[in-house]
Amino acid sequence: MYPRPFEYRAVTTVDEALRVLHEVEDGKVLAGGQSLLPLMKLRLASPGVLVDISGIPDLSYIRPQGENAVEIGSLTTHDTVAHSALLQERCPILPAAARGIADQQIRNRGTIGGSSCHADPASDLPPTLLALDAEFSIVGPKGSRTVPAKEFFVDLFETQVQRDEILHHIQVPTLGPQWGWSYTKFNRREGDYPIVGVAILVRLDSHGRRLEEVRIGLAAVNPTPCRARAAERFLQGQEISPAILKEAAHRSTEGLHPGSDMHGSSQYRRDMVQVFVRRGLEEAVTRARLAGGNP
């Protein structure tokens, strides 16, 4: 647990962070440190300069954006997300996903921005943000831009955020009463990264019978967090029945190439995606029906 030598720069404003990142050759943003530092201690990562942004006061917040959205500063910790009353009211799937991350100590340090930028395909928040069609606001030397979730995650550990940029905030939509959701994390031990993670959002018709819209985000099954588009398309407009949900679960593995490890082979992960998409859909539908007064 002895990292290679590195330089450490603590910054206090976004501008200063961008300036330092621009100046130094081999800079890397440090937020909560819960992904970057373990890799450095294992010597699997060795950035030359750590630019610690955790001291920037105005990047940690959760605030409403009008009625229809919530903006979350990138330094907001998993614990804050997990306990946010505003998110609980407007976008409860996100606190649910954050609650299951690691343990309390890690949730106290780890940030939503760090989790997004690290883009470990097994993380819990990225597939949830994908399902939410969240928007990512990035600032850099050339100003700021906003990237939709479906473009944000580029490849294994790679996002749209460039080396000299930082993720400023993430915007998620308010889910109306016709929406139901579920987040399932399947692992062997409490708090571990999921073997598969499934984030589901469903929007029902006013009778609670038909699926108007379905979004399924998946973790740990591809080089990036991804959506089960084939299953989503299949379900759109369908009348809800066990057979339909089962068929959708079956289609949710289309295009997946899960890696294997000692906790789950590629085949096992595919099987588990099917199990948890089906169960997750059932849970989300039940929730939507309850919320819509159609239990």
Can you tell me which of 8, 25, 44, 67 binds other proteins, judged by CB under 8 A?
44
Residue 123: contacted member of ligand FAD, other proteins, none (CB under 5 to 8 Å, by partner type): ligand FAD
SS3 261: strand
Is 109 or 246 the residue whose CB approaches ligand FAD more closely?
109
Q: Would you say the C-alpha torsion 244, 247, 249, 251 has a positive or negative sign?
A: negative
Can you tell me which of 4, 15, 26, 38 binds ligand FAD, judged by CB under 6 A?
38
6 scored as a contact of other proteins (CB under 8 A)? no
Can you tell me which of 20, 79, 80, 124 binds ligand FAD, judged by CB under 6 A?
124
Q: Where are the alpha helices (DSSP H) in 214-265?
A: 229-235, 242-251
113 scored as a contact of ligand FAD (CB under 6 A)? yes
- Minimum CB separation of residue 188 from other proteins in Å reads 6
- Minimum CB separation of residue 232 from other proteins in Å reads 22
- Say how far apart CA 246 and CA 222 lie, in whole Å: 22
Question: Within its chain, how far is the Cα of 40 from the centroid?
Answer: 23
- Say how far apart CA 205 and CA 239 lie, in whole Å: 10
Residue 105: contacted member of other proteins, ligand FAD, none (CB under 5 to 8 Å, by partner type): none
- The position carrying tokens 């939509």 is 173
* Count of residues that interact with other proteins, criterion CB under 8 A: 45
- Say how far apart CA 42 and CA 160 lie, in whole Å: 26
Can you tell me which of 90, 118, 203, 215 binds ligand FAD, judged by CB under 6 A?
118
106 scored as a contact of ligand FAD (CB under 6 A)? yes
- Say how far apart CA 212 and CA 206 lie, in whole Å: 10
Residue 263: contacted member of other proteins, ligand FAD, none (CB under 5 to 8 Å, by partner type): other proteins
110 scored as a contact of other proteins (CB under 8 A)? no
3-class secondary structure for 178-212? Answer: CEEEEEEEECCCCCCCCCEEEEEEEEECCCCCEEE
Can you tell me which of 20, 31, 200, 235 binds ligand FAD, judged by CB under 6 A?
31
Q: Is 210 left (phi over 0), alpha (psi -120 to 50) or beta?
A: beta
H-helix or E-strand containing 226? Answer: strand 226-227
188 scored as a contact of other proteins (CB under 8 A)? yes
Is 90 or 118 the residue whose CB approaches other proteins more closely?
118
Q: What angle do CA 278, 135, 33 make, to 5 degrees?
A: 90
Query: CA dihedral defined by 229, 159, 272, 245, rounded to 10 degrees?
Result: -20
Closest of 199, 202, 208, 213 to residue 179, by C-alpha: 202
Which span sits near ligand FAD by CB under 6 A: 4-12, 110-118, 246-254, 269-277?
Answer: 110-118
Q: Where along the sequence are the contacts to other proteins (CB under 8 A)? A: 1-5, 28, 36, 39, 42-47, 103, 118-119, 121-122, 155-158, 186, 188-193, 195, 220, 223, 257, 259-265, 268, 271-272, 275
Q: Where along the sequence are the contacts to ligand FAD (CB under 6 A)? A: 28-36, 38, 74, 78, 101-102, 106, 109-111, 113-115, 117-118, 123-125, 161, 166-167, 191-193
